[in-house]
Amino acid sequence: MPVIRIPDPIYKRLQALAVPFEDTPITVIEKLLNEYEARYQPQQIFETENYKILEPDTPSNLHYTRVLRAVIGSQEIHQPNWNKIVDAAHEMAIRQGFSVEELMKLTLAHIVKGEKINSGFHYLPEVNISIQGVDSNLAWRNTLHLMKNFKMPIEIYFEWRDKEGAAYPGEKGKLIWNAK
């Protein structure tokens, strides 16, 4: 087993993270590594499971689906759902230098400048726009439209709920689009 010398300043930082009478330097390092891997390493489970790969321009019905993982460009969306994906795409557009007026002309989603919280709108304070919530099919259509215009890749992993009306109850699907 290798022996590692830890400088005093780093050891003090580890102590600050430790739970007294419970953690050792090894358990604190292990917790930090677990947290790092959970945040920054792609989840391998998505590569090994069987997913129906759908045609991005003509996917089957996405009603009754739950998003498992979503990556736009190189940004993974935390606790994703269809409307969070739409929000993230619009936030990226504003951060890339598009004005709200330009975005309003480009997007298929209903957006307004400033805060509006009725008629299904919710406010995105980081970019000062409000966007209307939509169902999963429209969310995918709206997001794909923006990604194509920005030439930005997108990957969505999801599962159909085991419910009447779902296209493939209990199965998993994947939507991927890359700029060519």
Overall domain count for the chain:
2
For residue 6, the model assigns a pLDDT of 87
Determine the Cα–Cα distance for residues 114 and 128; give it in Å rounded to an integer.
5
Question: Are 22 and 94 contained in the same domain?
Answer: no
Residue 65 is which amino acid? Answer: T
Residue 12: inside a domain, yes or no? yes
Higher pLDDT: 11 or 54? It is 54
Nearest to 158 by CA among 145, 141, 140, 144: 140
- pLDDT score, position 89: 95
Same domain, residue pair 56 and 128: yes
- At residue 43 the predicted structure's pLDDT band, cuts being 50, 70 and 90, is low
On whether residue 150 sits in a domain, the answer given is yes
| 77-98 tens-digit pLDDT | 989 999 999 999 999 999 888 8
Range of the domain at 23: 8-40
User: Are 33 and 94 in the same domain?
Assistant: no
Q: 19 and 93: one domain?
A: no
What's the whole-number mean pLDDT along residues 18-25?
A: 80
What is the reported pTM?
0.72
Same domain? 104 vs 123: yes
Domain identity same for 69 and 104: yes
Residue 3 in any domain: the answer is: no
Residues 99 and 171 in one domain: yes
Q: Report yes or no: 123 and 116 within 8 Å, Cβ to Cβ.
A: yes
* 1 occurs within a structural domain: no
**What's the chain's average pLDDT?**
89
Pair 64, 89 in one domain: yes
Confidence of residue 41 (pLDDT cuts 50, 70, 90): low
**Residue 32 tokens, joined:** 């930090």
Tens of pLDDT, residue by residue over 128-177, are 999 999 999 999 999 999 999 989 999 999 999 999 999 999 999 999 99
